[in-house]
Amino acid sequence: MLYISLIQPNIIWEDKAANLAEYEKTIEGIAAKKEVIILPEMFSTGFSMAPERLAETMDGPTVAWMKNMSRKHRCIITGSLIIEENGHYYNRLIWMQPDGNFGIYDKRHLFGYAKENDHYSPGEKRLIAQVKGIRICLQVCYDLRFPVWARNQGDEYDVLIYVANWPERRNLAWKTLLQARAIENLSYVIGVNRVGEDGNGIYHSGDSSVFGPTGELIWQEAHEATVFSFIVDKEVVQNTREHFPFLNDADKFLFLD
């Protein structure tokens, strides 16, 4: 059993200090057991195409904040932010553990429609983390449209997480594809989105969601900033895959650049 809390915020545009202060209060107020807390994509700034002004290094204040909060609450905190490294900018998800160790995933599929690919460099490797024997594949927003990148080959992971800034105007795709990823991968799928209008006047309805491994909707919430806590049960995943051994019949392939 793994306790997971999703935070669906109304991100204050490009105001890191204000956003981190709000998250701090929200995390303090979570009544459920804290084991994994999920924040959305670019949680400290909103989905900004100004990395030259907003990017931090891995020694910067937002990563330090994640370390402090993870240590203080003795839980894992994850979400993506804007990182500069070796002259490149990344939309980087960080999986921060209470001991200060962390994993990273750089968003693979950059959203050309908003010219994200003009400002950021793509990642090359997936990240599958593990906690309490539960394996979690971590991806970012637009990755959701590319099922091969999420494919659960054999039995690689039990939970698939997407952190996002996904606009309301395309929320049908968001909700449909999250459910599809659950069905085809026989895994829990969690989508954590933001609400409210960003600095470009684009409205986000949230629709953060949790689907079970047969595609059943466990929870979904639109338009309101909120927190949802629930329990991932690995036995549910195992029983589903034993009863419906569809992954055994899937095509085998390798990821190539």
**DSSP string spanning 146-199?**
-HHHH---SS--SEEEEE----GGGHHHHHHHHHHHHHHHTSEEEEE--EEE-T
> Which of these is catalytic: 16, 34, 35, 41?
41
What pLDDT is recorded for position 88? 98
Active site residue 75: no
- In the residue annotation, 137 being an active-site residue is answered as no
What is the predicted pLDDT for the residue at 254?
Answer: 84
Burial class (CB in 10 A: 0-12, 13-18, 19+), 119: middle
Q: What is the pLDDT of residue 173?
A: 98
Burial of 238 (0-12, 13-18, 19+ CB in 10 A): middle
Instruction: Choose, from 141, 168, 175, 221, the residue flagged as catalytic.
Output: 141
Confidence at residue 51, expressed as pLDDT on a 0 to 100 scale = 98
> Which residue among the candidates 16, 34, 67, 107 is catalytic per the annotation?
107
Residue 33 CA to residue 128 CA, distance in Å, equals 23
Six-digit token string for 197: 């209008």
What is the structure's pLDDT at 190? 99
Helix (H) or strand (E) holding 97, with range, is none
For this structure, is 107 an active site residue?
A: yes
- Considering the chain, what is the average pLDDT of its residues? 97
**pLDDT at residue number 100:** 97
Nearest to 196 by CA among 29, 25, 34, 40: 40
For residue 257, the model assigns a pLDDT of 66
Check: CATH 3.60.110.10 for 2-249?
Answer: yes
- Which regions of the chain are under pLDDT 70? 257
* Residue type (1 letter), 102: F
Whether the Cβ atoms of residue 65 and residue 16 lie closer than 8 Å to each other: no
**Residue 70: its pLDDT value, please?**
98
